[in-house]
């Protein structure tokens, strides 16, 4: 089935469905989106769904099958927000497939009614302390090209709070001087919001050292490096940025993701006295409430209610 996602039965993807067809259908979704961030996230979500779909014998694509996939995601202990993002991608796929005649409208509409997972309370994120963040920043081997690149990536995430997709898509033209300091300008983030992010001098220095050693000054700031330690492309993916964070986090004994460095930026800058509205501007949040969640403002884990209890173990 190379021409359409539906063949003999109008609501069924057959075992003959090719990977090429999956890519075509995924492209229907990503081409309909205006945000680069959303395109990357939706493509990743759909690729994961197709992999699960193949592993489960490619049953008739119905609302019941999508609900079964939701149960699978819940069993993997994904956060509600992650599950809901993946379901949004599938609902978007059903709409585009229906609009393009690749799926009966009644099937597409039923899939669009798959409910997300309710979020109860606020999920606690991970933050690094100042000393932990310094250990992570110092982890790459600055005597190698890859080490210099990775150090610059970590410096940008810790020093500016950028998302991994924003790091991967950063161009040299985005790094400019404004009001006597270095700023990442015209950064297109989530929801197509454009913002400018001030960065510390040590972040700019890390970028400069990497760029000089790599011999690059235009195009994407960060590039892929092969096993021989040489440049092997003109860009790198957001997943590759995630892999960089995971590599050095594990090396220094932390269990964190790329997004946790964004939380760390917010937390450490707040503790250092930065204004919460300015933190919001740097992060590109539409609401200051979201920034407060990043900072843990709704729950004080340092001065917790349990600390006020006058209880103890008598025989401890």
User: Annotated catalytic sites, by residue?
Assistant: 163, 190, 259, 262, 285, 294
- Going by C-beta distance under 8 Å and a sequence separation of 6 or more, which residues neighbour residue 234? 219, 220, 223
- H-helix or E-strand spanning residue 80: helix 80-99
Distance CA 87, CA 81 (A): 10
Q: Which of 125, 217, 228, 120 is nearest to 171 (CA)?
A: 217
Strand partners, 220: 171
Distance CA 268, CA 270 (A): 5
Distance CA 13, CA 87 (A): 19
- The pair phi, psi for residue 163, each rounded to 5°, is -70, 160
What's the full length of the chain, in residues?
Answer: 316
Residue 39 and residue 23 in contact, taking contact as beta carbons nearer than 8 Å: no
Distance CA 164, CA 208 (A): 19
- H-helix or E-strand spanning residue 195: strand 194-198
- The pair phi, psi for residue 222, each rounded to 5°, is -110, 135
Residue 225 and residue 231 in contact, taking contact as beta carbons nearer than 8 Å: yes
The tokens for 177 are 């001087």
Q: Taking CA 31 as the corner, what is the angle to CA 225 and CA 238, rounded to the nearest 5 degrees?
A: 25
């Amino acid at each position: 089935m190379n021409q359409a996602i539906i063949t003999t039965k109008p609501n069924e993807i057959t075992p003959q469905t090719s990977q090429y067809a999956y890519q075509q259908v995924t492209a229907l979704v990503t081409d309909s989106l205006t945000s680069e961030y959303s395109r990357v996230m939706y493509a990743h979500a759909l690729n994961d769904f197709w992999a699960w779909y193949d592993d489960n014998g490619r049953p008739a694509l119905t609302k019941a099958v999508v609900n079964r996939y939701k149960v699978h995601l819940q069993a993997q202990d994904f956060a509600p927000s992650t599950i809901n993002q993946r379901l949004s991608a599938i609902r978007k796929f059903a709409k585009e497939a229906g609009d393009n005649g690749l799926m009966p409208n009644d099937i597409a509409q039923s899939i669009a009614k798959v409910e997300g997972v309710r979020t109860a309370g606020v999920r606690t994120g991970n933050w690094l302390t100042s000393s932990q963040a310094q250990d992570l920043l110092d982890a790459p081997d600055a005597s190698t090209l890859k080490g210099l690149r990775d150090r610059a990536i970590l410096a940008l995430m810790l020093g500016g709070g950028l998302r991994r997709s924003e790091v991967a898509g950063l161009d040299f033209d985005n790094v400019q001087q404004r009001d006597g300091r270095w700023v990442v300008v015209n950064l297109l983030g989530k929801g197509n919001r454009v913002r400018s992010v001030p960065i510390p001098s040590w972040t700019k220095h890390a970028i400069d050292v990497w760029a000089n050693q790599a011999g690059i000054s235009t195009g994407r700031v960060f590039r892929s490096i092969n096993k021989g330690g040489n440049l092997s492309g003109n860009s790198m993916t957001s997943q590759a940025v995630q892999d960089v964070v995971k590599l050095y986090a594990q090396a220094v004994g932390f269990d964190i993701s790329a997004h946790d460095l964004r939380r760390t930026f917010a937390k450490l800058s707040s503790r250092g006295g930065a204004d919460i509205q300015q933190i919001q501007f740097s992060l590109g949040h539409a609401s200051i409430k979201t920034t407060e969640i990043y900072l843990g403002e709704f729950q004080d884990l340092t001065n917790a209610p349990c600390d006020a209890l006058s209880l103890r173990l008598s025989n401890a």
